[in-house]
Homo-oligomer: A and B are copies of this chain.
């Protein structure tokens, strides 16, 4: 069994951002040399998500609006009484998810036609990272 580990680092210029990281994950899988296996891709921070869906600008705004409607940034959060201002981000990240697990087949991400991996930042403007862990053969 082979294993491989790589960190992807990001620093977004805005509080909220979407980054399509599909190609960077595919490159990590290539470097791993794994032909058949699984890759775990997870946010290492607790106010960011990794998820899979379509790369369509309207959809990204729909997600923004949905999340802001159900967990508004300006609402009252007990977590913010600690001096933080990101209570909403911890809720939003849970709804969008921490991680994805993707099959590797023939050395490539085994995806349907529209699947794309996104890093979703809810509290940016600082250096944060995603873990890519590959296991297989």
Contacts and interface: CB of A to CB of B under 8 A. Distances in A.
Contact of A5 (B56, B103, B113): B103
B5 A105 contact: yes
Nearest to A133: B103
A136 B59 contact: no
Contacts of A101: 40, 42, 99, 101
A38 B40 CA distance: 8
Interface of A: 1, 3, 5, 36-38, 40, 42-46, 51-54, 56-59, 61-63, 66, 70-71, 77-82, 87, 90-91, 93-103, 105, 110-115, 129, 131, 133, 135-137
In the A-B complex, the 5 residue pairs with the closest CB atoms = A44-B112, A58-B78, A103-B133, A3-B36, A58-B79
11 contacts: A38-B133, A40-B103, A46-B53, A59-B78, A61-B78, A62-B78, A66-B71, A94-B95, A97-B97, A112-B129, A135-B135
